[in-house]
Amino acid sequence: MTTYKFCNQLFHGCGIAGMRLLDADSIPLVVTSPPYGSIRDYGGQSFYFKPMARELWRATMPGGVVCWHVNDQIVDGGETGDSYRQCIYFIELGFRLHTTLVIEGKKVASYKSRYGRAVQHVFVFSKGKRRNFNPIMDVPNKFAGVEATHHDRLSDGTRRTRDRVRVKPFRKRGVHWSYAGGTHNTPDRQAWEHPALMPEALAKDLILSWSNEGDLILDPMGGAGTTAKMAFLSNRRFLSFEINREYHDLAVERLSQTFERAASKPA
């Protein structure tokens, strides 16, 4: 198992400064959600995107992945576009935009002058060719169990027939992922004090998709500890930095309760 400089720790402090303590090319997966729009002044602390992105590039290992969960606010009648500018900057640093996930909420916000919005994005960046991908197979196949003939379309336009295969019960999901929001994000009531919780199920799905057991999962803007909690419950290791003392204390309490529940379960 890989040895990491820091492991299974929640630090109170700036994520940018914290990442500067990490070895270069050492982190296999980052799962994080930055402050955005009018909440960029985060609990009295400002968010500096470009230094954060540069440290993520330095710390991420070759083949490693950064999952950047973000949204745009509506300001002066239009969406800010901040998330897309951030995406372009990541690409300029050298990251590949591996995929863009569309995260759909169950509740649609209502507006008089535009269609309702219930989507956010996760930009999934890789540092070079990604090291692994564990697709989530949870979409039922309509014709599960049926034998079907598969065809490939070749570059010259002709079709090649492959052997008949039996359709599997489930197939890989697409890029549209749906999660409950609000207090359904987590059963941990104390975490509801955080203004912008990432759904636990989303964090878990990202961790399972782009890491292996024993990997270290970094969240440089740890918030109430969602990424750390789901990394622990997925048999990964975690490292979190959170600049806001109140939210850091929430994360510590939340993780302590998670450890206690895990220890009390029968082997």
- Across the 267 residues of the chain, what is the mean pLDDT of every consecutive 10-residue run? 86 96 97 74 68 98 98 82 94 98 77 73 97 93 76 75 77 91 64 72 97 98 94 98 93 92 83
Q: What pLDDT is recorded for position 183?
A: 59
Token duo for residue 264: 């009390």
Q: Does the residue 113 lie in any domain?
A: yes
Q: Do 120 and 90 share a structural domain?
A: yes
Q: Does the residue 1 lie in any domain?
A: no
Q: What pLDDT is recorded for position 69?
A: 96
**Distance from the Cα of residue 233 to its chain's centroid:** 15
Reduced to 3 DSSP states, what percent helix, strand and coil does the chain have, rounded to the nearest 5? 30, 35, 35
Q: Do 184 and 101 share a structural domain?
A: yes
b (16+ CB within 10 A) / e for 127-146: beebbeeeeeeeeeeeeeee
Q: Do 211 and 185 share a structural domain?
A: yes
Q: What pLDDT is recorded for position 195?
A: 60
Q: Do 102 and 229 share a structural domain?
A: yes
How far is 21 from 38, CA to CA, in rounded Å?
A: 30
Q: What pLDDT is recorded for position 253?
A: 92
Q: Do 167 and 126 share a structural domain?
A: no
The residue segments making up the domain with residue 163 are: 137-172
**Distance from the Cα of residue 30 to its chain's centroid:** 7
Q: Do 228 and 160 share a structural domain?
A: no
Q: For residue 266, which amino acid is it?
A: P
Q: What pLDDT is recorded for position 166?
A: 80
How far is 220 from 239, CA to CA, in rounded Å?
A: 8
Q: Do 216 and 152 share a structural domain?
A: no
How far is 27 from 73, CA to CA, in rounded Å?
A: 30
Q: Do 51 and 154 share a structural domain?
A: no
Q: Do 120 and 183 share a structural domain?
A: yes
Domain count for the chain:
2
Q: What pLDDT is recorded for position 40?
A: 46
Q: Is 11 left (phi over 0), alpha (psi -120 to 50) or beta?
A: beta
Q: What pLDDT is recorded for position 221?
A: 95
Q: What pLDDT is recorded for position 222?
A: 93
Question: Of 73, 60, 54, 102, whose CA–CA distance to 202 is shortest?
Answer: 102
β-sheet bridge partners, residue 109 = 117
